[in-house]
Amino acid sequence: MTPVNRKGKRRTQRAATNAVDSTVDLTRLLDIVAAFARQTICVAGDFVLDEFVSGEISRVSREAPVLILRHRRSETYPGGAGNAAANLAELGARVLAVGVVGDDDGGRVLVECLRRRNVDTSRIVRVRDSVTPRKTRYLAGWTHTTEQQVLRVDREPGAILSDATRDSIARKARQAAKRADAVLVSDYGFGAATPELVKGLRAKCVTLDSRYRLLAYADAGAMAATPNEAELEAAYHDRIGTDLRKLEQLGERAVSDLGVKCLVVTRGKDGMAVFERAVQQNADVKTPVHIPIHGSDAPVDVTGAGDTVIAAFTLALAAGASYLEAAHLANYAGGIVVMKRRTATLTRAELEAALRQEATAQR
């Protein structure tokens, strides 16, 4: 039976495609990257402090069968919306951060981390008696071995944000959106990013990254979203695995349900799939484009890679890229950053170098 979309239009059922990359003009991508420094991006959402505690395995405890780590060093990085903001700043954009932190040590460290990266933090609200979301990863290893993550401890705010705090965030986001070329919304489930916030924005371009409630943003006004495959599966309570037909079915469904013009599904070592809303009257979504990963399929550390992807994607759209061009740049960015340790960022120079290297290889 021919499927019927929610608007009642019938479309021709097509077979799932094999992974295939579309032709991309690398010179054009370099021109887009050159325009990054002229863009202003508002990042609204859940700001998280990522902490990495490294230790050397000294012995097994006599108290319990656990390893004892001799503390070596502790490092802190902006996470969540903060990581997206840090990536945007490293890529050359002017960044306006809108969100909330607790009036605690974690909040102070997080804001200072962002300021050192030249992110405008004047619109980050500090909430008294609240806890700044913090993800602490404990890494163990010996002097000449690679560290391995052995434990992660998350500190999360226990209370729901008050109406007054939500109103303040929404007001600051609207003000920042008026000055920005695009708005990136990062929802990690801590309450700063909401569908209501997105609906209230009057922005030229709004992109969405929602960890736990993608479909709650249906018809909220986002132009594009960048879920990973697991988030798409969770949204529809279905399994994709290696079934490209299922991936395309869920991707097309998400484009329709969310009301977005583009959906970029990141798939780890299998690259990404790009779904664009069609302009033809007899179809809702163009034939999906499958982009193979850039670089190695054996990443060093995938922490925060999704933040890098949406940062590069959003900045490229603001600089005039098409959705497919923006997805290609995001794919390059993600491939670079997963070869770094910790919650990493990439620079505009690194992205340009990767594009030039690819152009040379093609010649």
Residue 283 pLDDT: 58
Let me know if residue 18 belongs to a domain.
Answer: no
Let me know if residue 14 belongs to a domain.
Answer: no
Residue 197 sits at the vertex; the CA angle it makes with 194 and 202, to the nearest 5 degrees, is: 145
DSSP 8-state assignment for residue 5: -
Residue for token digits 């991309």? 24
Residue 31 sits at the vertex; the CA angle it makes with 27 and 34, to the nearest 5 degrees, is: 135
The CB-side HSE value for 80 (13 A sphere, CA atoms) comes to 33
Residue 150 pLDDT: 93
Q: pLDDT (tens digit, 9 = 90+) per residue, 220-238?
A: 999 999 999 999 999 999 9
Let me know if residue 289 belongs to a domain.
Answer: yes
Residue 148 pLDDT: 92
Range of the domain at 316: 26-47+88-130+162-362
Residue 278 pLDDT: 87
The candidate with the shortest Cα–Cα distance to 106, out of 120, 126, 121, is 126
Q: How many domains does the chain have?
A: 1
Let me know if residue 100 belongs to a domain.
Answer: yes
Whether the CB-CB separation of 57 and 67 falls below 8 Å is answered with yes
Let me know if residue 113 belongs to a domain.
Answer: yes
Catalytic residue among 46, 257, 270, 307: 307
Residue for token digits 């977005």? 260
Q: pLDDT (tens digit, 9 = 90+) per residue, 267-277?
A: 999 999 999 99
Active site includes 103?
no
Q: What CATH number is attached to the domain comprising 221?
A: 3.40.1190.20
The stretches in the chain having pLDDT less than 70 are 1-22, 280-283
Let me know if residue 75 belongs to a domain.
Answer: no
In order, the DSSP letters of 49-108 are EEEEEEEEEEEE-SSSS-EEEEEEEEEEEEEEHHHHHHHHHHTT-EEEEEEEEESSHHHH
